[in-house]
Amino acid sequence: MILLLSEDGDKITDIVVDWLNYYKSDFLVLKSKNLYNSIPTNIKVSDKLEINDFFSNINIAWCRRWSIDNYENINKDIKVNIISELNHFSSIFFESLKNIEWINHPNFTKIKKIDQLLIAKKSGLNIPDTIITNNRIELQDFCNNKGRIITKPIESSSEIIFDNDLYVSYTNRLDDTIIKKLPEYFAPSLFQEEVNKEFEIRVFYFNEMIYSMAIFSQLDSKTLIDHKKYNKEKPNRKVAYNIPKFLRRSIVKFMKKSNLQTGVIDIVKSKNGKFYFLEVNPVGQFNDISINCNYNLEKIIAEYLIEKDEKKNRVN
Amino acid sequence: MKKKIELTEILDNAYINYCPIYLYFLESFEVTGFISNDINELYDNKFFECVLS
């Protein structure tokens, strides 16, 4: 049986499930809410973790996404306790399934962005010069050395709702005018040299297979710094792109060192011809890569899962 | 219409220094894309579900 871990509303899961249904395969989609309302789950703790028979037929699991459901109308302190307990339980649950083949083991999908940069560098990828600082003098020096710099979260940002409007933070350029306005000390923040980009590349990685798309975001002032500031009137051009072999080798090395079997990687090709790794999102959306480049990635994933499941069934 | 917001509108001034610099650049998120034909944007944007729920 194939196990798919996911969450409500994930479109990619729906499309992969369509393909699994089309091929009449044996699969189970598991969301965190199922663990306390519909699926018997027992873990015996002895010299090792033993999970109940319901899960014994699983041959391969794909962690598309996993999150503990949001509890809207509940005391916030109780909510913190529930989420913490369920997160710990989830981790033990996944550990008890460690002998099956995983496409991203959930315990490895929360790799920190700074760790990603360090691993990328060790894997032979270029990364933009990066600092984390809390003071204006250091920031001013960095800006003077690099020319153009940007700021973004050290880890990730979430949406802010204010006066019934939804606000988000994008990657932003900092210049002297802004830096001079900052206090002498501020909250520790991340700053990076701005890569003078020729174009951006989004890579979908799946078990050493690489599917890439170039995004021509540099020609539009709106999307120049962050292509997610979409221009609806005139969308960025997105086309299939073949990355060079040396970059492919480094990406495979990076993903292996990161214990990831799949993920969406953001890369920038600079005007000086170098490729810069920005980040990997192990649970990132890849519909745009699949649709724009006609890769049919969801079908490829479904077929891979079925092939592995059937192979294991034949061995057993 | 895209709006920008100053942190001081959200926060008491006393808390402003606790905010990392990226938070100084908040912009309203446009949801009009949902009714457009741009399927990529629809799929690519994690904030749609938040807005719709």
Query: Any alpha helices (H) in A47-187, and if so which ranges?
Result: 76-96, 113-122, 136-146, 176-181
pLDDT in tens, A71-127: 777 887 888 898 899 899 999 999 999 889 999 999 889 899 999 999 999 999 999
Q: How far is CA A47 from CA A53, A58, A69, A87, A99, in A?
A: 18, 22, 31, 22, 16
Distance (Å, rounded) from C-alpha A8 to C-alpha A1?
Answer: 21
Query: CA angle, corner A164, sides to A159 and A168, nearest 5?
Result: 25
Which residues in chain B are contacts of A152 at CB distance < 8 A? 22
User: Is it the case that residue A190 has pLDDT exceeding 90?
Assistant: yes
Q: What is the pLDDT of residue A158?
A: 75
Among the listed ranges A72-76, A83-87, A194-198, A213-217, which one has the minimum average pLDDT value?
A72-76
- Structural domain spans, chain B: 4-52
How sure is the predictor about A139, in pLDDT bands with cuts at 50, 70 and 90?
Answer: very high
Is B8 near chain A, with CB under 8 Å? no
User: Is it the case that residue A248 has pLDDT exceeding 60?
Assistant: yes
Q: What is the pLDDT of residue A123?
A: 98
Place of tokens 């920005």: A278
Among the listed ranges A100-104, A245-249, A298-302, B10-14, which one has the minimum average pLDDT value?
B10-14
The average pLDDT across B7-22 equals: 80
Residues sharing a CB contact under 8 Å with residue A101, sequence separation 6 or more, in sequence order? A59, A60, A61, A308, A312
Q: Which two tokens stand for residue A218?
A: 């540099």
User: Is it the case that residue B37 has pLDDT exceeding 60?
Assistant: no
Q: What is the pLDDT of residue A61?
A: 97
Q: Which two tokens stand for residue A42?
A: 């027992």
More confident residue, A223 or A111: A111
From B36's Cα to the closest Cα of chain A, the distance in A is: 8
| Cα A296 to the center of its chain, rounded Å | 19
More confident residue, B43 or A166: A166
Contact A257, A99 (CB under 8 A): no
How sure is the predictor about B33, in pLDDT bands with cuts at 50, 70 and 90?
Answer: very low
* Options 3.40.50.720, 3.30.470.20, 1.20.20.10, 3.40.640.10; CATH of A197-282: 3.30.470.20
Is B25 near chain A, with CB under 8 Å? yes
DSSP H or E run through A211: strand A209-216
Q: What is the pLDDT of residue A220?
A: 73
Q: What is the pLDDT of residue A296?
A: 96
Nearest CA in chain A to B50: A159
User: What would be the CATH architecture of the domain defined by A2-107+300-315?
Assistant: 3-Layer(aba) Sandwich (3.40)
| Phi-psi group of A122: left, alpha or beta (phi > 0 → left; psi -120 to 50 → alpha; rest → beta) | alpha
User: Is it the case that residue B45 has pLDDT exceeding 60?
Assistant: no
Is B11 near chain A, with CB under 8 Å? no
Please say whether the dihedral angle defined by the alpha carbons of residues A18, A295, A116 and A197, taken in this order, is positive or negative: negative
* Chain A contacts to B (CB-CB under 8 A): 9, 11, 151-154, 157, 159-160, 162, 165-172, 174, 182-183, 185-191, 228-230, 232, 235, 238, 285, 287-288, 291-292
Nearest CB to B43; choose among A159, A170, A287: A287
What stretches of A221-295 adopt beta strand conformation (E)? 237-240, 262-270, 275-281
Distance (Å, rounded) from C-alpha A309 to C-alpha A62?
Answer: 12
**Number of CB pairs, chain A paired with chain B, less than 8 A apart:** 97
Q: What is the pLDDT of residue A112?
A: 94
Q: What is the pLDDT of residue B52?
A: 31
The average pLDDT across A139-151 equals: 95
User: Is it the case that residue A16 has pLDDT exceeding 60?
Assistant: yes
Mean pLDDT of chain A, nearest integer: 91
Q: What is the pLDDT of residue B32?
A: 44
Please say whether the dihedral angle defined by the alpha carbons of residues A296, A299, A301 and A304, taken in this order, is positive or negative: negative
Nearest CA in chain B to A185: B17
State how beta strands A101-103 and B4-5 pair.
unpaired
φ, ψ for residue A298, nearest 5 deg: -65, -35
- Structural domain spans, chain A: 2-107+300-315, 129-193, 197-282
Q: What is the pLDDT of residue A230?
A: 65
Rg (CA), chain A: 22
Q: Please indicate whether, in this complex, the C-beta atoms of B25 and A170 are within 8 angstroms of each other.
A: yes
Is B26 near chain A, with CB under 8 Å? yes
Q: Express as a percent the part of chain A with pLDDT over 70.
A: 97
Contact A16, A295 (CB under 8 A): no
Which residues in chain A are contacts of B10 at CB distance < 8 A? 160, 162
